[in-house]
Structures are given as C-alpha cells and as structure tokens.
C-alpha cells in the first residue's frame, strides 16, 4: 500500500466539559477553524488528545465526531494504540468502519515488546484489524519507553504488514529519521512530531509534520514550511527561531495543559485536563496570556 501525507497536521485536543466528560459539540467548530488555517489533516486521540486517558468507548465517540465534522475535507488519522492489543484492534476496526483515512498506533507500553520482532508482531495485529487503511507507527519512546530503530522497524514491518506506510516520528533524533526517510529510496512516509525542531526534521527528509502547536500557531509554522520549500533557509531559520521562543515560553507553564490553554485564547475552550495531568489555574492562564502578548505571539499568527 502506498499513501502520502505532507504539510502540517495538528494533533488535535479532545474537548472536555468542566466535569471531565466529553464535549463533542466543540469538535465541529474547532475542525472548521483548523481547516481554515490551511492544515492538511487531523491526527486524533494521540498524546495531545489524551487518547490513553480516554476509555475505548470515549475514543470511539471522539473519532466518529472528528470524522463526521471533517466531512472528507482533509484526511483524519486516528491513533488506536493501547496497552491491550484486543482494545487496539477494536479501535482500528472501528476507524475503518466510520470512514477514517488512516490509523496510527503506539506499541503496548506497560508490558513492552522486548524485541523488534515482538514489536512488529504487535503492530501486525493492530494494522490487520483495519486492512484497508494506511498504518503509521507512532514512535514516541519518551512516553512509551519502547526504544526501536524506526528504519529497521519499517524494513521488517513492511514484510508482514501490507498496509504499513510510514511513521509519526516524535523524537529529536534526526540522525535516525534521515535513515528511515531514505530507506528503500524514500518508500515510507515520515511525519515529524517535534514542533520545536520542524526545520531540522524537514532537512532530514520528513515530508510532513504532526504536532500540538499547529492547532494555534499554524501561520507561523506555515512560514517555516513555505520558506524551506522555496529554499530560503534564512527565512526558515528566522521563523523557526520564533517557534522555538514560543514553545519554550509555553512549556515553562507546564507542558500539555499550557498548550491546551493557548487554544482557549483563540476562542476554543477545550476544558480541563484528565488526571494525572493538571489543569492550569486562572492565575497561570492570565500570566501565560500576558507573556504571549509580550512575545508577539498574537501578531505572529495574524
């Protein structure tokens, strides 16, 4: 199977009500906003979407809501990885049933696959539950604890997983990213997942990117991408430098909860975090907004 994604793809947030229940009604206006930003797809129920903190039933509901809201305007990639392969297979089969465009999965991350072969066999079970959908390995070892050479995994996996098309590569190691991107003359679709190093990832051979900050800073990162494509490295470095300042500032307020809060400043309140993540206090929200204003963020995304 051949499938190719490119451009900037936001890893979407999962909107929650104040009591922590799903706020599915927020998904359609958020999707319309993201598509208006000229983003090229949606990556649903990944780390940004707190997928591993949702029940299987909740993940199905969120997935269906995003597919319905998107109405085929851009591809929807559903992250279906789970500690249980049975649950992951159920989520994969559901993704195919509701008309998602592709699936992606982390490997099991409590009892971890001890070898490359074991990892491939786990992924084969997940991908096999949705044989008609392109499958992307989700490489995020800082969260899963599963260390693997992605180039070796793609080479081995392609022999037993017919719908394996690439990987979402969410680690700073561009050395191995380039090896994966050049494997078999560029056969695999590599999507870079470290927003703070987007330019480095593009230089190493990534064809597109999936990230949290594209939800609210697409114009800024679009300038990085466009400058790279026209080989204007001075401009690309300038805009990537602004992106680094932005991410360093937001990360200083506590990581993912702070990133979720920034989208609220643009009119899309996605609610609190699921425990064990901690929602920002009102005082921190005010301070974050003030710091973003001082940085020039709201002008950068105009």
Q: Rounded to whole angstroms, how far apart are CA atoms 52 and 5?
A: 24
- The residue-averaged pLDDT of 109-128 equals 97
Per the structure block, which two tokens stand in for 232? 């204007």
> Is residue 209 situated within a structural domain?
yes
Per the structure block, which two tokens stand in for 210? 């999936």
At residue 1, does pLDDT exceed 90? no
> Is residue 37 situated within a structural domain?
yes
- The residue-averaged pLDDT of 55-82 equals 98
Confidence category of residue 302, pLDDT binned at 50, 70, 90: confident
Residue 74 DSSP code? S
- The residue-averaged pLDDT of 96-125 equals 98
Sign of CA dihedral 98, 102, 107, 113: positive
Quote the pLDDT of residue 233. 97
- The residue-averaged pLDDT of 15-31 equals 97
At residue 174, does pLDDT exceed 90? yes
Residue 23: count other Cβ atoms within 10 Å of its Cβ.
17
Peptide bond into 209 cis (omega under 30): no
List helix spans (H) across 80-135. 85-98, 116-128
Residues with a known catalytic role: 138, 168
> Is residue 188 situated within a structural domain?
yes
In the numeric block, the tokens 């990639």 are attached to 77
> Is residue 19 situated within a structural domain?
yes
At residue 250, does pLDDT exceed 90? yes
Task: Name the nearest CA neighbour of 106 among 17, 54, 168, 58.
Answer: 168
Give the domain range for residue 91: 7-217
> Is residue 168 situated within a structural domain?
yes
Residues recorded for the chain: 302
Confidence category of residue 95, pLDDT binned at 50, 70, 90: very high
* Tens digits of residue pLDDT in 194-218: 999 999 999 999 999 999 999 999 9
- The domain tally of the chain equals 1
> Is residue 123 situated within a structural domain?
yes
Query: Which run of H or E residues covers position 103?
Result: strand 102-105
Quote the pLDDT of residue 118. 97
Task: For residue 53, give the CATH number of its domain.
Answer: 3.20.20.70
The structure's pTM equals 0.96
Q: Rounded to whole angstroms, how far apart are CA atoms 91 and 195?
A: 27
Query: Which run of H or E residues covers position 79?
Result: strand 76-79
**Three-class SS of 249-262:** HHHCCCCHHHHHHH
Quote the pLDDT of residue 292. 98
* Tens digits of residue pLDDT in 78-89: 999 999 999 999
* Tens digits of residue pLDDT in 132-154: 999 999 999 999 999 999 999 99
3-state secondary structure of 230: coil
3-state secondary structure of 6: coil
> Is residue 234 situated within a structural domain?
no
Q: What is the largest CA-CA distance in the chain?
A: 53
At residue 127, does pLDDT exceed 90? yes
Confidence category of residue 97, pLDDT binned at 50, 70, 90: very high
- The residue-averaged pLDDT of 15-32 equals 97
At residue 285, does pLDDT exceed 90? yes
Per the structure block, which two tokens stand in for 1? 């199977």
CA angle 45, 177, 100 (to 5 degrees): 30
Strands 102-105, 135-139: pairing kind: parallel
At residue 2, does pLDDT exceed 90? no
> Is residue 244 situated within a structural domain?
no
Task: Name the nearest CA neighbour of 181 among 141, 146, 208.
Answer: 208
Quote the pLDDT of residue 84. 98
Confidence category of residue 227, pLDDT binned at 50, 70, 90: very high
């Amino acid at each position: 199977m051949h499938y190719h994604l490119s451009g900037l793809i936001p890893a979407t947030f999962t909107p929650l009500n104040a009591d922590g229940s799903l706020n599915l009604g927020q998904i359609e206006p958020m999707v319309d906003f993201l598509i208006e930003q000229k983003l090229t797809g949606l990556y649903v129920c990944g780390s940004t979407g707190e997928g591993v903190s949702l029940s299987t039933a909740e993940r199905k509901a969120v997935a269906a809501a995003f597919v319905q809201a998107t109405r085929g305007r851009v591809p929807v990639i559903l992250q279906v990885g789970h500690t249980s392969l049975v649950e992951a297979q159920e989520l994969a089969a559901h993704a195919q049933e509701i008309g998602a465009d592709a699936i992606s999965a982390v490997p099991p991350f409590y009892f971890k696959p001890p070898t490359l072969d074991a990892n491939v066999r786990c992924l084969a079970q997940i991908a096999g539950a949705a044989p008609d959908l392109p499958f992307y390995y989700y490489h995020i070892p800082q969260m899963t604890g599963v260390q693997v050479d992605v180039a070796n995994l793609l080479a081995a996996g392609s022999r037993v997983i017919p719908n394996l098309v690439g990987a979402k590569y969410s680690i700073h190691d561009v050395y191995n990213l380039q090896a994966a991107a050049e494997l078999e003359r560029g056969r695999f679709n590599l999507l870079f997942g470290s927003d703070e190093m987007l330019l480095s990832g593009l230089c190493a051979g990534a064809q597109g990117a999936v990230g949290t900050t594209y939800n609210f800073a697409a114009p800024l990162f679009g300038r990085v991408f466009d400058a790279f494509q026209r080989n204007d490295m001075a401009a690309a470095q300038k805009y990537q430098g602004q992106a680094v300042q932005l991410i360093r500032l937001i990360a200083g307020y506590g990581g993912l909860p702070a990133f979720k809060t920034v989208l609220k400043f643009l009119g899309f309140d996605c609610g609190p975090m699921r425990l064990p993540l901690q929602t920002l206090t009102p005082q921190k929200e005010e301070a974050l907004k003030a710091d973003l204003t001082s940085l020039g963020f709201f002008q950068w995304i105009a």
